[in-house]
Structure 1
Amino acid sequence: MAGSSHGHTLAAWTGVTIAFIGFCVAGAFMVMAQPAGFWAGMGVVILGGVVGWVMSAMGLGQPKDAHEPHLTTEERQAAGAKG
């Protein structure tokens, strides 16, 4: 994944950061036995996913054709022999 810059986009960082904050909020309220705060934190987790998806749809994510598809060794050798 490091070779394809997977997750190195503004959409990914923003979505994960919001989801992490929501996870921390939900965890804190779970320890304090406050169900309403727990569910509010879980809502923030879902919001993080939605924000990341919307930002990606706006063009702030990784393009679909950013890297070549994964090929097996045999497929790479066959492609190299043809070209």
Structure 2
Amino acid sequence: MSNKSATTSTTVSTQEPMDHSVEIGHGNSPAAWTCVAIMLVGTIVGCVAFTIGESATILFWVGVGIIAVGLVAGIAMKAAGYGVEGSKLKNTGH
């Protein structure tokens, strides 16, 4: 048997305090909302297919496809300037 203690001590590193005055943004943009809305529809389609049973395998994959379309739509809208701080948006400070 070892004479070492069962508890170990951890050292806490001191880091610079976090600057909370900088707004990080939470994706509140038309691109993000469109992406999430389309993906939500795909999730609902997939869940309905899952509850129906084995006969709805194709419907499940349709839901997965809708989720992929939502992701592509969000990326395309961001590239078009509808993302956070996009060129097509008026920055109202909200």
Same fold per superposition (TM over 0.5): yes
Structure with more relative contact order (C-alpha pairs < 8 Å, separation 6 or more): 1
* Structure-2 residue corresponding to 1:32: 52
User: As a proportion of its length, which structure holds more helix?
Assistant: 1
Q: CA deviation at 1:41?
A: 0.6
1:46 aligns with 2:92: no
Give the TM-score normalised by the residue count of structure 2: 0.62
CA distance in 2, matches of 1:39, 1:46: 10
Work out the percentage of aligned pairs sharing the same amino acid. Answer: 34
Q: CA deviation at 1:62?
A: 1.5
| Counterpart secondary structure, 1:4 | coil
Give the TM-score normalised by the residue count of structure 1: 0.70
RMSD over aligned Cα, in angstroms? 1.8
* Structure-1 residue corresponding to 2:43: 23
* Structure-2 residue corresponding to 1:60: 82
| Counterpart secondary structure, 1:30 | helix
Deviations 1:58-78 (A, max 9, x none): 0000148xxxxxxxxxxxxxx
How many residue pairs get aligned? The number is 63
* Structure-2 residue corresponding to 1:4: 24
CA distance in 2, matches of 1:57, 1:63: 11
Q: CA deviation at 1:5?
A: 2.3
* Structure-1 residue corresponding to 2:16: none
